[in-house]
Structure 1
């Protein structure tokens, strides 16, 4: 268990370069952000796992009971599974930093890994995340950077919960940026630009 916890795409970078973990949304797969990640960090090891849970044929990283209602036992399982996967591949590829990017369900599992394993990632992009509970504070010993992008009219990720997650990471000592667009759950060009600017220092 560990480096092969998920079926995944990987493009190996040189030792000493970052490990860039990119995570798809519900119904996506290991191809959804793989090329995008490779363009953002061309020297990094880019790894993109496929979610190991099926919801009516749509791949996800953990189960839910309804829209916005998580199976917390499965979230705990999935969080430990993802953390072990990332740690094993970080060591395998001798990465100097660990960077994450997730959209929707991918952002949710990434956010919970940041919460439960606060020293694993150096930086993370959470695109339209939803954490519908109040996490327990676990400050990181790392100077983490977190970018959250969101839609002001997102029916899946309400503004107050997005703001609450941003506040949570700030309270744990992270350097947090929150970028909004005027739409819903879709990815817009302005947030892609924000992601590029955020990732650029690690290229």
Structure 2
């Protein structure tokens, strides 16, 4: 599989920053944000290659919160290969990635199987409705999880279960909760900036 993707080549030695859109988004949803968060980085934003009634996604589902696990497995493997190829192409020594909703889910799925591919992960409103297998390779990986306390799509207990799983794998986990739902809030973006650039105010 190959992906339509938007790319901004950074300076030599710069990190690689990958972004993954939510359902119905595109490669443009977070590309500009990534350029602002890490100026000079290599930024790569793939477009999901699954269409759900015209809305782009990274894997199929059979209902709200019900995933086609066989399709997810295939597309996780494809995405891992894509990330590895972009890492080789850019020569980046550090890889960061940000995903929102469906994009956070494919990013998490890759990390569960290939934790060596991405160093720092931002999972915005993820929904992982299964218990991942233990993954010692997540130890020390930096993960920032953001969520809404009243998110009807990604219920808080499932987000808390994901955080508990990551902590059990000894990942370096930080969280940010806002009092709303599935929307992205400005203060949420501020928490992401502080996670990616700890010297930010």
Bin the TM-score by the shorter chain: over 0.9
> Structure 1 residue 14: deviation in Å?
2.2
1:50 corresponds in structure 2 to 47
Q: Partners in 1 of 2:14 and 2:171 — Cα distance?
A: 22
Q: Spell out the pairing of 1:40-189 with structure 2 (5 A cutoff).
A: 40-140=37-137, 143-189=140-186
Which one scores higher on RCO, CA 8 angstroms, separation ≥ 6? 1
Q: 1:91 to 1:156 in 2, by over 3 A?
A: same
Render the CA deviation track for 1:53-104: whole Å, top value 9, x for unaligned.
0000000000000000000001001111111101111011000111010001
Q: Partners in 1 of 2:88 and 2:12 — Cα distance?
A: 10
1:33 corresponds in structure 2 to 30
TM-score (norm 1): 0.95
Moved segments of 4+, more than 3 Å: none
> Structure 1 residue 15: deviation in Å?
2.9
Unaligned runs of 5+ in 1: none
Q: Partners in 1 of 2:116 and 2:167 — Cα distance?
A: 15
TM-score (norm 2): 0.96
Q: Decide whether the 8 Å contact of 2:49 with 2:56 is kept in 1.
A: yes
Unaligned runs of 5+ in 2: none
Render the CA deviation track for 1:148-198: whole Å, top value 9, x for unaligned.
000000001111100010111111121001110000000011111000101
Matched length: 200
